[in-house]
Amino acid sequence: MKITIVGSGYVGLVTGACFSEVGINVQCVDVNEAKIENLKKGIVPIYEPGLDKMIVRNLEKGRLQFTTSLSEALKDSEIVFISVGTPPDEDGSADLKYVLQVAKDCGKYMNDYTLVVTKSTVPVGTSIKVKNAIQDELQKRNVKIPFDVASNPEFLKEGAAIDDFLKPDRIIVGAESARAEALLRSLYKSFTLNGHPILFMDILSAEMTKYAANAMLATKISFMNDMANLCEIVGADVNEVRKGIGSDGRIGNKFIYPGIGYGGSCFPKDVQALIRTAQENNYNLQVLKAVEAVNQNQKTVLYHKIVNYFNGNLQGKTIAIWGLSFKPQTDDMREAPSLIIVNKLVEAGAKVKVYDPVAISEAKHHFGDTITYYNDQYEALIEADCLAILTEWPEFKIPNFNIVNKLLNTAAIFDGRNIYDTYEMKKQGFDYFCIGVNTLT
Q: Catalogue the active-site residues.
A: 266
DSSP 105-171: HHHHH--S-EEEEE-S---TTHHHHHHHHHHHHHHHHT----EEEEE------TTSHHHHHHS-S-E
C-alpha span between 83 and 7 (Å, rounded)? 5
Q: Print the binding letters for residues 228-267 with ligand NAD: x by CB under 6 A, - otherwise.
A: -------------------------------------xx-
Span of 143-151, 154-162, 356-364, 374-382 interacting with ligand NAD by CB under 6 A: 154-162
Q: What is the DSSP letter of 88?
A: B
Q: Determine the Cα–Cα distance for residues 354 and 82; give it in Å rounded to an integer.
A: 36
H or E, element range at 266: none
User: CA angle, corner 19, sides to 16 and 22, nearest 5?
Assistant: 145
Contact present, 113 and 37 (Cβ < 8 Å): no
Residue nearest to ligand NAD (CB): 9
Q: Residues 330, 358: contact at Cβ < 8 Å?
A: yes
Binding letters toward ligand NAD, positions 82-111, x by CB under 6 A: -xxxx-----------x--xx---------
Work out whether 318 is an interface residue with ligand NAD (CB under 6 A). Answer: no
Instruction: Restricting to residues 31-60, name those near ligand NAD by CB under 6 A.
Output: 31-32, 35
> Is 316 annotated as a binding-site member?
no
Amino acid at 368: G
- Asked whether residue 269 is marked as a ligand-binding residue, the answer is yes
Residue 325 in contact with ligand NAD, rule: CB under 6 A: no
Number of residues that bind ligand NAD (CB under 6 A): 26
CB of 100 to ligand NAD, least distance (A): 9
* Amino acid sitting at position 381: L
86 is in an annotated binding site: yes
Return the closest-CA partner of residue 175 out of 232, 118, 109, 110: 118
Q: Is 255 annotated as a binding residue?
A: yes
* 414 three-class SS: strand
Question: How far apart, in whole angstroms, are the C-alpha atoms of residue 135 and residue 128?
Answer: 10
Please state, as a whole number, how many other Cβ atoms lie within 10 Å of the Cβ of residue 361.
11
Minimum CB–partner distance for residue 241 and ligand NAD (Å): 29
Using the rule CB under 6 A, give the single segment among 27-35, 226-234, 288-296, 306-314 that binds ligand NAD: 27-35
Tell me how far, at minimum, the Cβ of 53 lies from ligand NAD, in Å.
19
Q: Give Cβ neighbours of residue 272 (< 8 Å, ≥ 6 apart).
A: 88, 92, 93, 292
Selected range binding ligand NAD among 80-88, 220-228, 277-285, 286-294, rule: CB under 6 A: 80-88
Shortest Cβ 12–ligand NAD spacing (Å): 6
Give the binding range for ligand NAD (CB under 6 A) out of 24-32, 108-116, 226-234, 356-364. Answer: 24-32
Establish how many alpha carbons lie within 13 A of residue 105's alpha carbon, considering only the half-sphere containing its beta carbon.
23
Q: Which is nearer to ligand NAD, 74 or 388 (CB)?
A: 74
For residues 221 and 301, which CB has a smaller minimum distance to ligand NAD in the complex? 221
Q: Is 97 annotated as a binding residue?
A: no
Residue numbers belonging to the annotated binding site for substrate:
155-158, 210, 255-259, 263, 327
Residues that bind ligand NAD (CB under 6 A): 6-12, 29-32, 35, 83-86, 98, 101-102, 120-121, 154, 156, 158, 265-266
Return binding residues. Answer: 30, 35, 86, 121, 155-158, 210, 255-259, 263, 269, 327, 334
